[in-house]
Amino acid sequence: MACNRTELPGREGLFRRFTEKVERLKVPIYGTIELTRRCNLRCRHCYLGRSVCDPRARQKELSAQQFLSIIDQIVDAQCLDLLITGGEPLLRQDFGEIYQHAIEGGLLVTVFTNGTLITDETLDIFESLRPRGVEITLYGATETTYEKITRIPGSYRCCMEGIEKILDRGIRLALKTVLTTLNRHELTDMEDMARECGASFRFDAGISACLDGDKSPIYLRVPPDEAVEMEFSNPDRLRQRQEYFEKTRGNTWGEKLYGCSAGRNMFHIDPYGNMKPCLMTQGPQYSLVDGDFLTGWQDVLPTFQEKKARPDFACGPCQLKGLCDGCPAFFVLETGSEQKRSEYQCAMAHHRLQAIEAATVMSHAARS
């Protein structure tokens, strides 16, 4: 049968239609597997809290065979894109076996790591079975700042060596950081490091409280006006936010508490076999030790998207959704309730609006 289309649709249109179809068919296209919550660093802002050094955590983690079985199940469920993360996933001696199984299953795999444990063996696997990308978190541009955050002597040198090794093998690399009061003075330097590496770079100022209830990390947040000023010091970031806001202007939270992809075409599996809509949510969850992936995906996770916002939910009528990084899953860690917003994230959104409006006025003035 002949096709009547005279030109191929743009990439943006293709992606939009693909996403719409995936959501309509409820395909779990995006997934995250957290291999461990253990870590060799002790970062001051880490949302995993005490679990990174819990000596009992290793005993509770799934075995390699259990992870391989789960990967087979998510492949059968038509998952396409998989993130392997931690903690520090390279702490597991069976990382290579699990990673290889995911790649050979046809998944597009991204690996999040702190880069300090990169070995030649790991690089050989990455070189023969290429990941979609490896993302490494920088905590500072200098040894002093980096290790003030990680609290592990020698970790900066190990990270820099890991980055160099990945670049030497021609593996696609992305760099990122969490903006804190301890490293804000080196943000530009970290961005320059990424540029010199030919790597993309992003940062996040929205530090979360810990999953175990510890709120101490949020006191390392950079004030919202300063964080937005740093975010928009890069014209590309300003332009991207501005364009996205124009597309979503007037959109409100609505009746649904969650309007994201979690539980709709995205899932998360923790080191102990618990399947959830995403990493940060408190529930619902389903044990893959006792059950199978499809049952959890079809019968349990959909209830997440059924959650409704209360009439008094402050974010409900707000039209700055396109400028806000707030999420009820993060709210509950910070405020104790999914329905009580983060004042920090709210302030960030309003400062972004002010900056965008000022930039728009300047642009119009320059053209007139």
pTM: 0.91
E strand or H helix at 74, and its extent? Answer: helix 64-76
Choices 3.40.190.80, 3.40.50.720, 2.40.110.10, 3.20.20.70: CATH for 26-222+260-307? 3.20.20.70
pLDDT digits (tens, 9 = 90+) for 217-247: 999 999 999 999 999 999 999 999 999 999 8
pLDDT digits (tens, 9 = 90+) for 98-152: 999 999 999 999 999 999 999 999 999 999 999 999 999 999 999 999 999 999 9
Q: Which two tokens stand for residue 266?
A: 């995205």
- Give the separation between CA 339 and CA 291, rounded to whole angstroms: 31
pLDDT digits (tens, 9 = 90+) for 315-348: 999 999 899 999 999 999 999 999 999 999 999 9
3-state secondary structure of 20: helix
Nearest partner of 96 among 67, 139, 132, 73, judged by Cα: 67
Give the start-to-end residue ranges of the domains of the chain: 26-222+260-307, 234-257+308-368
Q: Which two tokens stand for residue 46?
A: 């880490």
DSSP string for residues in 173-228: EEEEEE--TTTGGGHHHHHHHHHHHT-EEEEE--PPPPTTS--GGGGGPPPHHHHH
Helix axis angle, 155-168 to 143-150, nearest 10° = 110
**What are phi and psi for residue 282, nearest 5 degrees?**
-85, -15
State mean pLDDT over 297-326: 92
Secondary structure (H, E, C), 150-167:
HCCCCHHHHHHHHHHHHH
